[in-house]
């Protein structure tokens, strides 16, 4: 049984993302993900200007009149949403926690897929796969996906993107669209990401909070690492410490972005303190233009 609070959360996300999906994002999604190919639709009589190579010689011979084959896009896709549920997702210093942002982003992507008659599946992972929902169609299925993301209580704290991608590649044999939503506080996943991108259409969304790149001056504070369990006292009043923290964060970001760019992989930073709508739409429009 679903509790009332969870139902309210699901309904709120559905309502908040409906306009974005119906009026704004749905078209961008369709233009980016064209489908697996072309499938036969029908034949009609040849008209001047038609491609000669599309002539259906069998039908033309039977009728005595030239006919051409018409094809349409094979629209149906399989979409897998992969959500990092590790302990670092329970962090957010501005509008919302990364975990809540992941749920809303998942909803937008899932509703956009279903609107285009695509199948949607879900993988929730920490340092192991904790939840797998096979791809299916329909609004009720999408609502289940959102409920699972919102209501999932992680059994483990760490992160293993490699483990999640290996599992996904085992269960999805056919080429699919993969949305990887994570804060990428992990290592040793380079090879699995490159392998996955060769088999599937992989898009990585990097969830980030502003404190992860720039530490504010709050004096002496206690910091807790949810994934390792370590706790330490840090004097954020020291300018040298804040500078070193910022430089280290920048180095990590530069290396991460360089990896994705060097390998021609799709990657977008989604911040907890900035509305994601415009960056997401702008990114998808650029991708659509690139794929033409």
Do 70 and 82 fall into the same domain? no
Do 47 and 67 fall into the same domain? yes
Determine the pLDDT at residue 74.
52
For the stretch 85-133, pLDDT in tens is 998 887 767 678 888 889 889 988 888 888 888 899 999 999 999 999 9
Does residue 278 lie within any of the structural domains?
yes
Does residue 49 lie within any of the structural domains?
yes
- Write phi, then psi, for 66 (nearest 5 degrees): -60, 130
Q: Any idea which of 57-61, 221-225, 278-282 has the lowest mean pLDDT?
A: 221-225
Instruction: Give the CA distances from residue 59 to residues 47, 50, 172, in Å, rounded to whole numbers and listed in that order.
Output: 15, 16, 38
Residue of higher predicted confidence among 223 and 154: 154
Do 53 and 138 fall into the same domain? no
Does residue 3 lie within any of the structural domains?
no
Q: Give me the CATH number covering residue 239.
A: 3.40.50.410
pLDDT (average), residues 193-199: 94
Do 64 and 166 fall into the same domain? no
pLDDT (average), residues 32-39: 57
Do 68 and 83 fall into the same domain? no
Nearest Cα residue to 86 out of 179, 180, 183: 183
Do 180 and 58 fall into the same domain? no
Does residue 7 lie within any of the structural domains?
no
For the stretch 207-257, pLDDT in tens is 999 888 888 888 888 877 777 778 888 888 899 999 998 999 999 999 999
Determine the pLDDT at residue 11.
72
For the chain, the average pLDDT equals 84
Does residue 93 lie within any of the structural domains?
yes
pLDDT of 151 above 60: yes
Does residue 6 lie within any of the structural domains?
no
Do 50 and 92 fall into the same domain? no
Write the secondary structure of the chain as one string of H (helix), E (strand) and C (coil): CCCHHHHHHHHHHHHHHHHHHHHHHHHHHHHHCCCCEEEEEEEEECCCCCCHHHECHHHHHHHCCCEEEEEEEECCCEEEEEEECCHHHCCCCCCCCHHHHHHHHHHHHHHHHHHCCCEEEEEEECCCEEEEEEEECCHHHHHHHHHHHHHCCCCCCCCCHHHHHHHHHHHCCCCCEEEEEECCCCCCCHHHHHHHHHHCEEEEEEEECHHHCCCCCCCEEEEECCCCCCEEEEECCCHHHHHHHHHHHHHHHHHHHHHHHHCCCEEEEEECCCCCHHHHHHHHHHHHHHHC
Does residue 243 lie within any of the structural domains?
yes
Determine the pLDDT at residue 7.
65
pLDDT of 10 above 80: no
User: 201: exposed, middle or buried (C-beta count within 10 Å: 0-12, 13-18, 19+)?
Assistant: middle
Do 90 and 171 fall into the same domain? yes
Determine the pLDDT at residue 1.
44
Do 59 and 113 fall into the same domain? no
Query: 68 lies in which domain range?
Result: 37-74
Q: Any idea which of 12-21, 76-85, 195-204, 231-240 has the lowest mean pLDDT?
A: 12-21
Q: How many domains does the chain have?
A: 2
Residues of the chain with pLDDT > 70, as a percent, come to 87
Residues of the chain with pLDDT > 90, as a percent, come to 35
Do 185 and 162 fall into the same domain? yes
Determine the pLDDT at residue 32.
73
Determine the pLDDT at residue 84.
95
Cβ atoms of 120 and 142 within 8 Å: the answer is: yes
The reported pTM is: 0.80
Does residue 231 lie within any of the structural domains?
yes
Do 167 and 49 fall into the same domain? no
Do 285 and 209 fall into the same domain? yes
């Amino acid at each position: 049984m679903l509790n009332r609070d969870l139902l309210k959360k699901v309904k709120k996300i559905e309502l908040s993302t409906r306009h974005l999906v119906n009026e704004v994002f749905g078209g961008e999604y369709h233009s980016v993900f064209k489908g697996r190919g072309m499938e036969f639709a029908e034949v009609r009589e040849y008209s001047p200007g038609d491609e000669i190579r599309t002539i259906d010689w069998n039908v033309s011979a039977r009728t005595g009149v030239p006919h051409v084959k018409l094809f349409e896009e094979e629209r149906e896709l399989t979409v897998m949403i992969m959500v990092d549920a590790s302990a670092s997702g329970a962090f957010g210093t501005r509008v919302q926690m990364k975990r809540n942002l992941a749920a809303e982003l998942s909803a937008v992507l899932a509703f956009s897929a279903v609107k285009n008659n695509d199948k949607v599946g879900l993988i929730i992972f920490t340092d192991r796969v904790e939840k797998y929902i096979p791809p299916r169609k329909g609004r009720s299925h999408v609502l289940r996906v959102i409920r699972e993301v919102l209501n999932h209580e992680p059994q483990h704290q760490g992160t293993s993107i490699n483990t999640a991608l290996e599992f996904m590649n085992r269960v999805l044999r056919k080429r699919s669209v993969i949305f990887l939503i994570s804060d990428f506080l992990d290592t040793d996943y380079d090879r699995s990401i490159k392998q996955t991108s060769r088999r599937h259409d992989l898009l990585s969304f990097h969830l980030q909070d502003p404190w992860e790149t720039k530490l504010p001056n709050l004096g002496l504070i206690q910091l807790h690492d949810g994934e390792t369990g370590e706790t330490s006292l840090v004097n954020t009043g020291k300018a040298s410490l804040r500078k070193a923290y910022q430089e280290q964060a920048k180095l990590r970001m530069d290396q991460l972005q360089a990896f994705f760019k060097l390998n021609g992989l799709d990657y977008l930073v989604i911040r907890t303190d900035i509305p994601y709508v415009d960056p997401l739409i702008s990114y998808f429009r650029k991708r659509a233009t690139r794929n033409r």
